[in-house]
Amino acid sequence: MSEKNRRPHRHLAYKTISILSFCVIIALWCLLTYGGMVTELFVPSPTKVLSTTVDMARDGSLWINCWMSVKRVMVGWFWSAVAALPIGMVMARSKAFSAVIQPIIEFARYLPVVALVPLTILYLGIDETQKYVIIWLGTFFQLVLMVCDTVGSVDKNMINAARTLGANRWQVYKEVIFPAALPGLMDDFRLTIGWAWTYLVVAEMVAASNGLGYIILKSQRFLATDVIFSGLITIGIIGLLTDFAVKILTRAIVPWHERLGE
Amino acid sequence: MSMKEKLLVSGVSKIFPGKKKNAADVTALKEINLSVRDGEFVVIVGPSGCGKSTLLNIIGGLETATSGSVIVEGRAVSAPGADRGMVFQGYSLFPWLSVRKNVEFGLKMQGVAGLEREKAALEFIRLVGLSGFENALPNELSGGMKQRVAIARTLAAKPEVLLMDEPFGALDAQTRVVMQELLAAVSRETKSTVLFITHDIDEAILLANRIYVMSRRPGTIREVLDVDLPCARSHNALVTEEFLALKRKIMDMLWRESQDAAMNR
């Protein structure tokens, strides 16, 4: 009982500390810039970054760039999830299948995605597909292994119970393994969406004419550090929002898991 | 009780190959023969590590025997199936399903329609004394209640034989007695055929029509004892003359077993 009463209190304390840690960073930023400790060229002031962001929002470019980047991240990540889910699930349950697939994936996941850019352009050209593929390459191989691991850690007794209750192979996957692994899978998804964002700049490095990664790269040429900061902060905020959305979604689809943990 | 054999285990051995190079093979089970008749409650009692769980898993089809056969209702079996329902010590409930959905699980897998399934589930939930908890999630229940759900879930799937692997091992002493009495009553009411394993001698005598006493590794059947207690199966039986005499006999057997093991070491 007392355990339960303490919970909201602890939760509030956690949030307060989280917000405070952000405040400290912003305060430091203010100190460095308004205090004249670094030049405007290297670290633009908060007001400068804010006004640049407002300008970009006014002329609409911010929204277009956000949308293009979100779309690239989401499409690329979505297809990697669609492919990784069944492959990872079967890998976790079948030694033979794992023997075929695992070495290939372990090999591929060490290939730096940046180094694959020339080949993707050669094979796919420079349209949107190439950008989706870059993000797919960055997340798929990691996600397969994470799915395999999550599914592999499903309580074996639960699977045995299902089999002695008459479940066939397919039913075991659908009715037991998938729901049992779902909380862990949602965590895997949340983490890999974050990684997808880190590959965005790689995807928008070549032959892009919009996107948050693109404006950051372009600004380098003009030493427009205010735009770089604005782009970075925007990506960070989108990341936080995505994380939050996935957490809410997780709570909605696996409510039984919440009650057990925390 | 008819004399028909529901479950027949003949000549089952299990040898685990040595893990390391040059390591000797380990014989876990050696030439096990046993039978469970229709409606009978059979208990296998033996010291820890005698291979009784391995034996139950082989019967359940979760492990394969090195040799020998398992026959249920005249058919040889090697894979798991709904004809041999299992109850585990760790409950193994599905935490995302309500009590009712857990109990319906087996019937759903067998393609029974929703309404009929629900009716059957409610009946078995009532039988194990959990009416009112149909919509609770497993994590909201105590250990004893979870095991009631597991028993109802297994019975609802209509198995030929109910296999129970130390189902009350994780429960506290008081809850265990309550669960033993409940199981005795439920299995009598549903005319279930049960094969139950435990290392608890009291539990074995309280529940069994017949007891197989197993030896230490390599696990073999040491003795078969018929239990014919006159009074009803409840905790009151634990202090009767007949009960204590039988208990002494089994304890002697297991004690001699451990003496031998110590001598051979």
User: Which residues in chain A touch residue B82, judged by CB atoms under 8 angstroms apart?
Assistant: 164-166
State the pLDDT at residue A2: 42
State the pLDDT at residue B259: 72
Which residue from A minimizes the CA distance to B93? Answer: A158
Q: Do B209 and B41 meet the contact criterion of CB atoms below 8 Å apart? A: yes
**Digit-coded pLDDT (tens) for A92-117:** 988 899 999 999 999 998 899 989 99
Q: Does domain A40-260 have CATH number 2.40.30.10?
A: no
Phi and psi of B76, rounded to 5°?
Answer: -75, 135
pLDDT at A88 over 80: yes
Q: Do B65 and B9 meet the contact criterion of CB atoms below 8 Å apart? A: no
Q: Do B63 and A156 meet the contact criterion of CB atoms below 8 Å apart? A: no
CB contact under 8 A, A157 and B92: yes
Helix (H, G, I), strand (E, B) or coil at A38: coil
State the pLDDT at residue A260: 45
**pTM value?**
0.83
Domain boundaries, chain A: 1-38, 40-260
**Digit-coded pLDDT (tens) for B173-185:** 889 988 999 998 8
Between β-strands B26-37 and B41-45, what pairing exists: parallel, antiparallel or unpaired? unpaired
User: Which residues in chain B touch residue A180, judged by CB atoms under 8 angstroms apart?
Assistant: 94-96
Using pLDDT thresholds of 50, 70 and 90, give the confidence band for residue A262: very low
User: Which residues in chain A touch residue B95, judged by CB atoms under 8 angstroms apart?
Assistant: 180, 256-257, 260
Q: What is the mean pLDDT of residues A201-205?
A: 87
> DSSP letters of A174-208?
IIIIHHHHHHHHHHHHHHHHHHHHHTHHHHTSSS-
Q: How many CA atoms lie within 13 A of A25 on its CB side?
A: 6
Q: Do A121 and A207 meet the contact criterion of CB atoms below 8 Å apart? A: yes
User: Which residues in chain B touch residue A171, judged by CB atoms under 8 angstroms apart?
Assistant: 109
Give residue ranges of B with CB < 8 Å to any A CB.
Answer: 60-62, 80-82, 84-86, 88, 90, 92-96, 105-106, 108-110, 137, 139-140, 150, 153-154, 157, 159, 163
State the pLDDT at residue B262: 65
Which residues, at least 6 apart from B174, have a Cβ–Cβ distance to it below 8 Å?
none
Q: Where are the alpha helices (DSSP H) in chain B?
A: 52-60, 99-109, 114-127, 143-156, 173-189, 201-207, 241-264
Q: Residue B238: is it exposed, middle or buried by C-beta count within 10 angstroms (0-12/13-18/19+)? A: middle
pLDDT at B169 over 50: yes
Share of chain B above pLDDT 90, in %: 48
User: Taking the CB of residue A116, how many other CB atoms lie within 10 A of it?
Assistant: 17
Q: What is the mean pLDDT of residues B212-234?
A: 80
Higher pLDDT, B86 or A6: B86
R_g (Cα) of chain B, nearest Å: 19
Using CB atoms, which residue from A158, A182, A260 is nearest to B92?
A158
B201 CA to centre of own chain: 14
Which residue from A minimizes the CA distance to B90? Answer: A157
Smallest CA-to-CA distance from A140 within A99, A186, A199, A92 is with A199
State the pLDDT at residue A201: 86
Mutation target vs B (from A159, A160, A163, A165; most B CBs, 10 A cutoff)? A165
User: Taking the CB of residue B40, how many other CB atoms lie within 10 A of it?
Assistant: 23
Using pLDDT thresholds of 50, 70 and 90, give the confidence band for residue A11: confident
Using pLDDT thresholds of 50, 70 and 90, give the confidence band for residue A135: very high
**Digit-coded pLDDT (tens) for B63-77:** 999 999 999 998 999
Chain A residues 146-175 with CB within 8 Å of chain B: 155, 157-158, 160-168, 171, 175
Q: Torsion-angle region of residue B73: left (phi > 0), alpha (psi -120 to 50) or beta?
A: left
Using CB atoms, which residue from B88, B96, B109 is nearest to A167?
B109
ipTM over the 0.90 cut-off: no
State the pLDDT at residue B71: 92
CB contact under 8 A, A163 and B94: no
A165 CA to centre of own chain: 38
pLDDT at A84 over 50: yes
Q: Do A77 and A254 meet the contact criterion of CB atoms below 8 Å apart? A: no
Helix (H, G, I), strand (E, B) or coil at A112: coil
Q: What is the mean pLDDT of residues B236-245?
A: 80
Average pLDDT in chain B: 88
A39 at interface of B, judged by CB pairs closer than 8 A? no
